[in-house]
Amino acid sequence: MVFLCWARPSPHEQRTCIDKSGDFNYDSKYRGSTVKPADSVQQDRELSDSGFSVNHTRVLVGSGCETFEKGKSALQNWRINSTRRHFGLNWAFVDPRTPIHTGVKFCVCVKELFPWLMMPLQVVYVNENRSPKKAVASFGFGSGTLSGHLLAGEERFSITLDENNKVWYEILSFSKPAHFLSVIGYPYVLLSQKHFAHASSLAMRQHLSS
């Protein structure tokens, strides 16, 4: 099953995609794996032996508590500002009204040549940590692919304020083809993932520096 739309998907079309999607399309033993540090995921032999590719991007986007809180708000609202979102580029978006809570299903809409692809996911976890003694904090969430998505896997978006008062934006994912279309075009899919991570990181940096 593939969810296609010839025009920019409306909220109704996105809801139909979500309602018709099935359960998670990857093994439950990998559910929540992206909550771990990137090095641990990249070195996970079981993931690689199961055919998953890991994609990781981590960029410095600013410094200070105020910057961290602004970045956290951007993630929570799927927004960078009124015209950009970390998932609201010209060719990829999520309905910004989607709440980021564990168990919430949503739809990523991606423009691929002529049709739009609608790909269903579900929030697997939301993770927030703060140190009571140091100005160290992090916020992130991971979402897993559902039946009807071209890929099988999980992706985490997070923002962190470290012990040196630096703020980092990070995207971590593991995935493999879940449909013959993605099998055929998997090299292109991997390039698209890297392109999205770069564009999203740039949008976040621009938002936090504005």
Q: What is the pLDDT of residue 115?
A: 85
Beta-sheet strands, E only, within the chain: 3-5, 53-63, 88-89, 92-93, 105-111, 116-130, 137-145, 151-161, 166-177
Query: Which residues have a Cβ under 8 Å from the Cβ of 4 and sit 6 or more positions away?
Result: 115, 116, 117, 118
Its pTM stands at 0.90
Residue ranges in the chain assigned as alpha helix (H): 11-20, 38-42, 45-49, 65-76, 180-184, 186-209
pLDDT one-digit tens code per residue, 123-177 = 999 999 988 777 799 999 999 999 999 999 999 999 999 999 999 999 999 999 9
Question: What is the span of the domain harbouring residue 152?
Answer: 3-209
Token readout for 114 is 């002529």
Dist. CA 6–CA 30, nearest whole Å: 34
Token readout for 205 is 């940096």
pLDDT one-digit tens code per residue, 4-41 = 788 889 999 999 999 999 899 999 999 999 999 999 99
In this structure, are residues 203 and 84 in contact, taking their beta carbons and an 8 Å threshold? yes
Q: What is the CATH number of the domain that holds 55?
A: 3.30.530.20
Neighbours of 98 (CB within 10 A): 17
Per the structure, how many domains does the chain have? 1
